[in-house]
Every structure is written in C-alpha cells, then in structure tokens.
Amino acid sequence: MYKGKFLSAVITAAGSGTRMGMDINKPYLEVGTKKVLELSLETVTSIEEFDEIILVAREEDFPLATEILCLFRDPRIKMVQGGASREESTYKGLSALNPDSDLVLNHDGVRPFASRGLFLRVLEQMEAYKAAITATKSKDTIKVVNENGEVDFTPNREFVYNIQTPQAFDTRLIKKLYQKYFKSEAKITDDSQLFEFFDRNEPVKVVEGEYSNIKITTAEDIIFAKAFIKGEK
C-alpha cells in the first residue's frame, strides 16, 4: 500500500529487440554479471509499497523470464503475455491488475538503471496529480523537420525534455484512456501521451529524471551499460 492506496507496477519486457541485431531479446542480455531485466526487477522489488508487480513478456521468452523470476521468488510478481505492440502489451498488463488497484506505475523492463529514489519521487507526485512522468532536459538543440527532411522550426530547449519511465497514473483513469485509444486512429509513443489526446484537462506532472536511466535499445547502449556498472563498482 502507498499512503492507504493499493499500488501496482507494470513492467513491460515484451519487445522484439530487432534494433539490437541479436538473437536474444534485450531484457535477457547480460550486463556485467546480471541480465537487464534482473537489474530492473531488483529495484522494483526493493520497493515494499508495491502490492503487486505485473511482468509483461513475450510468450516465447517465458522460459527466460521464469529463470529470472525464480531468483526473486517474490509472491507479488505475476507474469502475463504481451501483445503485438508496446501499447497492447501495456494494456494487457493493466488488464491483469487487481480490481482494487488505485495507482499503477509503468516501467520499461529495459531501463535497468532507474534508481529506487526516482520511483519514489514519481509516486510522491500522485498525492496531487493523476499522472506523473520522469524526464530529463534535452542537452541538445532540437530541430523539427517537415516531410522532406527540411528544418521547420527550433523549439526552445528550456522546454524540451526527453521522456523516460517510470510513469505513474491513477489506475482507473489510465485504463479508461487506453480503451479510448484503441477505438481511435491516434498513435502514441509513451503512456502519458494518452492525456494529450483524450484528457487535456488533467495535467501530467514532470519529475526530473536521471541521465543514467537509459533504455537498452541498441548495441551501443550495452557498451554504456557495462561501463556504467563498472564505474559504480
């Protein structure tokens, strides 16, 4: 429970990993002596406030995921099969939540370096908001281009953020917005974008993220991850 509210977590690890160019899916790659998903779950399971943890994985990855879950033996964890897209996988995780769930925190299973403190800072915002996300200020100048690859305009870097997970939501509201999404022609790249399409009246709070909270997507990310772990040691 988190301040009297039933708290859930949905950890998505159902991507195909095609951009990595490897036979094994990203969550199950070894970084140092541990797998990516193992590192992510270490942090999530250390937060005692979670009443349940839903792991979303590809059916073909169930044996690999089960090996990792056996290391934790945490009765709060339940594994469900993912969908054909990131959005479908997230919704399958949301659909598996306990009906009593009040708050849900969504996190990419391939972001292994999100700190425990970051999770808790996001949750703190749920006292005043129904949606809170983590993000870091862009270090680079961003250009918006047109369909011909020509510069259209340059947004003010002070207001440009790189969005991360974890992201926290009112459970009933995020499920309702996802139901609207699947009936629409909209296309999202993160869960909080649902509010931009379907609930502009509900503000989404941005919490300062961590530059080390990278998403393992390419082979270069693995190099960074190994260096990061070596630096911590």
Which pLDDT tens digit goes with each residue over 149-204?
999 999 999 999 999 999 999 999 999 999 999 999 999 999 999 999 999 999 99
Residue 123 lies in a domain: yes
For residue 151, give the 3-state DSSP assignment: strand
Of 231 and 54, more confident: 54
Quote the domain boundaries for residue 149.
7-232
Which burial class, exposed, middle or buried, applies to 183 when counting CB atoms under 10 A from its CB (0-12, 13-18, 19+)? Answer: exposed
Which burial class, exposed, middle or buried, applies to 202 when counting CB atoms under 10 A from its CB (0-12, 13-18, 19+)? Answer: middle
User: In the prediction, which pLDDT does 96 show?
Assistant: 98
pLDDT surpassing 90 at residue 10: yes
Which pLDDT tens digit goes with each residue over 109-120?
Answer: 999 999 999 999
Residue 1 lies in a domain: no
152: β partners? none
Which residues, at least 6 apart from 125, have a Cβ–Cβ distance to it below 8 Å? 132, 168, 205, 207
pTM for the structure as a whole: 0.94
Confidence of residue 219 (pLDDT cuts 50, 70, 90): confident
User: In the prediction, which pLDDT does 22 show?
Assistant: 64
For residues 216 and 46, give the distance between their C-alpha atoms in angstroms, rounded to a whole number: 21
Q: Where residue 190 sits, what CATH number does that domain have? A: 3.90.550.10
Q: Report the number of distinct structural domains present in the chain.
A: 1
Which burial class, exposed, middle or buried, applies to 60 when counting CB atoms under 10 A from its CB (0-12, 13-18, 19+)? Answer: exposed
pLDDT surpassing 60 at residue 19: no
User: In the prediction, which pLDDT does 18 show?
Assistant: 59
Residue 2 lies in a domain: no
Residue 116 lies in a domain: yes
Angle at 31 between CA 108 and CA 43, to 5 degrees: 45
pLDDT surpassing 80 at residue 205: yes
Which pLDDT tens digit goes with each residue over 65-119?
Answer: 999 999 999 999 999 999 999 999 999 999 999 999 999 999 999 999 999 999 9
